[in-house]
Amino acid sequence: MTTAAELPAPISVLPAGLTFRMVEVLTHPSSFYPVHPGRYVVEGVGPWDAASPEVCTDLSNKGVWLSDGVNEVLVCPGCGLDCT
């Protein structure tokens, strides 16, 4: 179990008002590849249908852009995983 303090820094810079759920994400059903270290679920919007990316049922591969006009992040609409 990786503790929050040991997790890699997030890859993306979030729009204002949003935060990352600092829990390691290992897999996402829509991807053949493991989730890249530093990608986390975005919180502050949602709620997301899936409790975590590992059980996400959105296989559309169509992300949703969240932006504050300065920073933007692309998230999975099913679970909120950062896939920018």
Q: Which residues bind Zn ion (CB under 5 A)?
A: 56, 58, 76, 78-79, 81
Q: Which is nearer to Zn ion, 14 or 83 (CB)?
A: 83
> Residue 54: left if φ>0, alpha if ψ -120 to 50, beta else—which one?
alpha
Q: Which is nearer to Zn ion, 14 or 81 (CB)?
A: 81
CB of 5 to Zn ion, least distance (A): 26
Q: Spell out a b/e string for 28-60, using b for 16 or more CB atoms within 10 Å of the CB, else e.
A: bebbeeebeeebbbbeeeeebebebbeebebee
DSSP letter for 14, please.
P
CB of 31 to Zn ion, least distance (A): 9
CB of 83 to Zn ion, least distance (A): 8
Q: Which is nearer to Zn ion, 14 or 42 (CB)?
A: 42
